[in-house]
Amino acid sequence: MKLRENLDRDVSLITAWSTSPSLEIAGALAACPFDAVTVDMQHGGHDEGSAFASMRLIHARGKPGLLRIPVGRNDLASRALDMGFEAVIAPMVNSVADAQEFADAMKYPPLGNRSWGPMRALELHSQDTPESYFKSANRKTLAIAMIETREAFAALDDLLSVEGIDGVFVGPSDLSISWSGGEGVDPKRPDMQDALADIAKRTREAGKFAAIFAVDPASTPLYVRMGYRLTALNTDPGVINAGAALMLEMARG
């Protein structure tokens, strides 16, 4: 499994973000030179069928797959790992209890209480035997908790101290709603930037990795300088629109 290895090399990775429940589009994203593909079941249109079938296409292109579950759907977190996803992103993790419940679903004992049954994962990651998968899964598969409220930001150090949490993922849009007390959505709010840098710094100091969603691709270099190791680059409609705009501009001169 590649994602953990690549994150440990401390390079900056970019994941595509699949929201359309179309296998063709998920496969097309995996064929682009992204480092990984994230399948979104929170705000994306994916159901279990399209998400799990997408994982096969992502794997066929040699890419790691991540899955974002809907809020609190920790049953889907274990299932995603069983289906070969290398990481699960849990939205709205606001307390140690939220983080612990998520980690419990993601990790085998003694760290958590994930139940055994990774048949599809073993088929995709065929270098593993059941025994080697069991021994390495707690380290190689990643539980990523989203920081997207002031409450989560205030609890960051405690969330990072939950052993089964491998990293955090900032949702700057939701965080901006919480930051502004519900006044509006602005993922690039100037008064939030120090907090974003602080999250990356404290996460790194805790020996874990920080990821973030880049609504604007041009924010990515700034996030990388802050210390984020994984950036999600907008969504599949965003990629299609940007590609169309560029090609039309070239065509029309």
Residues that bind Mg ion (CB under 5 A): 148, 171, 174
Among 44, 84, 172, 227, binds ligand 3PY (CB under 6 A): 172
Closest approach of Cβ 22 to ligand 3PY, in Å? Answer: 19
Short-list 169, 201, 199, CA closest to 92: 169
Among 148, 152, 199, 203, binds ligand 3PY (CB under 6 A): 148
Over the window 195 to 214, marking each residue x when it contacts ligand 3PY by CB under 6 A and - when it does not, the resulting string is ------------------x-
Which range touches ligand 3PY (CB under 6 A), out of 97-105, 153-161, 167-175, 188-196? 167-175
Nearest-angstrom CA–CA distance, 44 and 26: 12
Question: Would you say 99 or 137 has its CB closer to ligand 3PY?
Answer: 99
If binding is defined by CB under 6 A, does position 167 make contact with ligand 3PY?
no
Which range touches ligand 3PY (CB under 6 A), out of 5-13, 48-56, 73-81, 169-177? 169-177
Contact yes or no for 15/231 (Cβ under 8 A): yes
Q: Concatenate the DSSP letters of all residues of the chain into one string.
A: -HHHHHHHTT--EEEEEE-S--HHHHHHHHHTT-SEEEEESSSSS--HHHHHHHHHHHHHTT--EEEEPPTT-HHHHHHHHHTT-SEEEES---SHHHHHHHHHHHS-TTT--PPS--HHHHHHSTT--HHHHHHHHHHHSEEEEEE-SHHHHHTHHHHHT-TT--EEEE-HHHHHHHHTTSS---TT-GGGHHHHHHHHHHHHHTT-EEEEEESSGGGHHHHHHHT--EEEE--HHHHHHHHHHHHHHHHH-
Q: Which residues between 73 and 102 bind ligand 3PY (CB under 6 A)?
A: 91
Which range touches ligand 3PY (CB under 6 A), out of 57-65, 108-116, 168-176, 189-197? 168-176
Closest approach of Cβ 207 to Mg ion, in Å? Answer: 25
Contact yes or no for 22/239 (Cβ under 8 A): no
Which range touches ligand 3PY (CB under 6 A), out of 49-57, 131-139, 165-173, 245-253? 165-173
Surface-to-core class of residue 238, CB atoms within 10 Å of its CB (0-12 exposed, 13-18 middle, 19+ buried)? middle
If binding is defined by CB under 6 A, does position 44 make contact with ligand 3PY?
no
Q: Which residue is nearest to ligand 3PY (CB)?
A: 171
If binding is defined by CB under 6 A, does position 173 make contact with ligand 3PY?
yes
Question: Would you say 133 or 179 has its CB closer to ligand 3PY?
Answer: 179
Among 174, 209, 214, 223, binds ligand 3PY (CB under 6 A): 174
Q: Which residue is nearest to Mg ion (CB)?
A: 171
Residues of this chain that bind ligand 3PY (CB under 6 A): 91, 148, 171-174, 187, 213
